[in-house]
Amino acid sequence: MGRCVFCKIVAGELPASVVYEDARHLALMDLYPWRPGHVLVIPKAHSVRVRELDEDARARLFTLGARVADAVRASSIPCDDLHLAINDGPASNQSVPHVHLHVLPRTRGDLPRLLLSLATRPLIALRLLRPAPRATLDRQAAELRSALVFPS
């Protein structure tokens, strides 16, 4: 079986708009954002489910996701609150079989738009849905990168 999309991104074989990278993690803009500013935080090592991560890896993933959420709140991306969410396995609508933490900005009253995004997800596989423009994703990634704060 071939490697998953995220493993190809980690290997540099597919492009991504990268918000953050270290030896063990990558944070990137979702190519088909449910809402503007949708970031995915992944461990670089391939695992499908959270139960395959040890407790330190789980803690690091969530801690990084929370920092990305802070960066979204500090950025110009519209955001009243956020989801920090993991679809843990294919039966939970996990779209790429590699653990990823969604950092999803929400604004008051945006539920119809979010539901429309979710309802049209199956069109991606049919190549009937266009990805977000790379220039937009790169601009958002750059802004979030500069807004990320790490404890000194």
Which residue matches tokens 């708009």? 17
Q: In this chain, which stretch among 13-21, 70-78, 96-104, 144-152 interacts with Zn ion, using CB under 5 A?
A: 96-104
Is residue 4 at the binding interface for Zn ion, with CB under 5 A as the rule?
yes
Determine, following the binding rule CB under 5 A, whether residue 49 of this chain makes contact with Zn ion: no
Q: At closest approach, how far in Å is the CB of 103 from Zn ion?
A: 19
- Using CB under 5 A as the binding rule, the residues of this chain from 5 to 44 that contact Zn ion are 6-7
The secondary element (H helix, E strand) that includes residue 27 is strand 25-29
Task: Pick left, alpha or beta for residue 123 (phi over 0 → left; psi -120 to 50 → alpha; otherwise beta).
Answer: alpha
Catalytically annotated residue among 25, 38, 100, 102: 100
Active site residue 100: yes
Q: What angle do CA 88, 11, 67 make, to 5 degrees?
A: 55
Query: How far is it, in rounded angstroms, from Cα 66 to Cα 121?
Result: 25
Q: How far is the CB of 90 from Zn ion (least distance, A)?
A: 13
- Residues forming the active site: 100
Residues that bind Zn ion (CB under 5 A): 4, 6-7, 46, 98
